[in-house]
Amino acid sequence: MDDARFAISAHYNDFLSPDTTRVDAVITVTAERGPSAPVIPAAQVLLIDRSGSMAGARIEAARQAAAAAVRTMPDGTLFAIVSGGDDARNVYPGKGLAVAERSTREAALKAIRLISADSLTHMSTWLAEARELLRGARATVKHAILLTDGENGEARGVLEKTLRACKGEFVCDARGVGEDWRATELRLISDTLGGSADGLVDPSGLAAEFASITAATVARIAGDVSLRLWTPPDATIVSLREVWPRARDLGEPRRVDRFTRDHPTGAWGAESRDYHLVASLPSGPVGDERLLARVAVVVDGELRAQALITAERTTDVRLAAAIDPKVAHYRDQRVLATAIRAGLAAHRSGDTVTAAAELGRAVRLAASSGNREALTTLAALVEIDDAEQGRVRLSAKARSSDIEVAELRADRAARPLN
């Protein structure tokens, strides 16, 4: 048994009015490394775009990023470097996966320096190669980083078909660099494969980004982790989403029995995550006290921690109308994301009045909720005159890539302070 230690807590309103049928709860799960926690075996494939548009500063930055990832991998990590064009070339080790140690790192760094920009952008071939490399790897954590600077050049449906084949085989973090990639494609990859997506207009930040992603990948302390959710027969789960540090759906749950299902959350490091649970249930009589849900952390099929969600029906309006601060915070973050996306859609269509109004509303919501990252992202699109009031002007300096970056980061919530 690994020595990862988990704790779980539920945040919600303890009281419901007789006619309330919706229940919101924020579930906080924290993992800590125990004194004898083993190293979780990891395998990682770097998918580096070598299309012609990468020539110059971008391909050099990509080489530096791949090198940074290789240097970050501890001994024993399985890895491969793949350059992607209209095909996928195993740059190192040439076939299969290498085992990280001094000699293989040095050989990989030499091979990375030879990657040149000379092809097209067919992402499905890159991902299919990662799948073949990782599917037989003796590793608990299987991971890829995909880097591109452009739009996928394949026929419609090809990438989607490959992603369906890759789903569940490995996790992929997708990154765009420069100004010509598409947020919709990176989100499709990350959402399907359970990773993250982001864009860096300035390629100088790639090395630090790859090192950070790799460090998190190889620092996992538990592999097969799920949230096990039990609900009574008359309750229905509307949604269960991770809301911090990433905003993502957890995909299809695994049925344990008629009333219980496991929601896979992926591998964990020493970290904390928040999940937003929404459930529906029938109205009930005053004084009815009920167990609404039981949420547990399950690691490799073993229950590690659990929290109960209970509520009492009351006619006390003050008690029933109260909203847990964490629930209220994440509701506001969803409204913020909606405002950002509405503003971006208007911006793309040339409706400057609506764009300014929605992005101004987003600035106000970001400021009031303490979402500094959202404010920084929005500052590339608007000139902020008064953040608290949401008074903004569209920036004449905004680039199309700034819109794509904002699209990817729209769902990123700030965590409540308390």
Residue 301, by phi and psi: left (phi above 0), alpha (psi -120 to 50) or beta?
A: left
Element (H, E) at 297: strand 289-299
Percent of the chain residues topping a pLDDT of 90: 92
What's the topology of domain 42-218?
Rossmann fold (3.40.50)
Neighbours of 110 (CB within 10 A): 10
What mean pLDDT do residues 32-61 have?
91
- In this prediction, residues 46-65 reach a mean pLDDT of 97
CATH 3.40.50.410 occupies which residues in the chain? Answer: 42-218
Convert the pLDDT of each residue in 355-390 to its tens digit. 999 999 999 999 999 999 999 999 999 999 999 999
Cα gap 139→79, rounded to integer Å: 11
Helices marked H in 170-259? 183-193, 206-218
pLDDT at 418: 67
Q: What's residue 34's pLDDT?
A: 81
Average pLDDT over residues 105-123: 97
d(CA 213, CA 256): 33
**Per-residue pLDDT tens for 149-165?**
999 999 999 999 999 99
Specify the CATH architecture of the domain 326-409: Up-down Bundle (1.20)
Decide: 166 and 128 in contact? Cβ < 8 Å: yes
For residues 60 and 328, is the Cβ–Cβ distance under 8 A? no
Strand partners for 78: 43, 99
257 — phi, psi (to 5°)?
-155, -165
Tell me: pLDDT of 1 over 50: no
Nearby residues of 107 by Cβ (< 8 Å), 6 or more positions away: 92, 93, 98
Pick the CATH number of 4-36+224-322 from 1.20.1250.20, 3.30.565.10, 2.60.40.420, 2.60.40.3670: 2.60.40.3670
**418 vs 50, higher pLDDT:** 50
CA distances to 134, 147, 163, 176, 226 from 185, rounded to whole Å, are 22, 12, 11, 10, 27
* Residue ranges of the chain that CATH labels 2.60.40.3670: 4-36+224-322
Res 193 pLDDT > 90 = yes
In this prediction, residue 111 has a pLDDT band, given cuts at 50, 70 and 90, of very high
Give CB contacts under 8 A, 24+ apart, made by 373-377. 373/409, 373/412, 373/414, 374/336, 374/340, 374/409, 374/412, 374/414, 377/405, 377/406, 377/409
Distance CA 365, CA 387 (A): 9
Residues 217-265 have pLDDT tens digits of 999 999 889 999 999 999 999 999 999 999 998 888 999 999 999 999 9
What are phi and psi for residue 196, nearest 5 degrees?
-120, 165
Domain with CATH 1.20.120.1690 in the chain: 326-409
Task: Provide the pLDDT confidence category of residue 126 given band limits of 50, 70 and 90.
Answer: very high
Q: Are 49 and 150 in contact (CB under 8 A)?
A: yes
Packed helices 123-135 and 183-193: angle between N→C axes, nearest 10 degrees = 20
Q: What is the pLDDT of residue 343?
A: 98
- State the Cα–Cα distance between residues 112 and 344, nearest whole angstrom: 37
Residue 49: φ, ψ to 5°: -60, 125
Indicate the pTM of the whole model.
0.92
Beta bridge partners of 31: 6
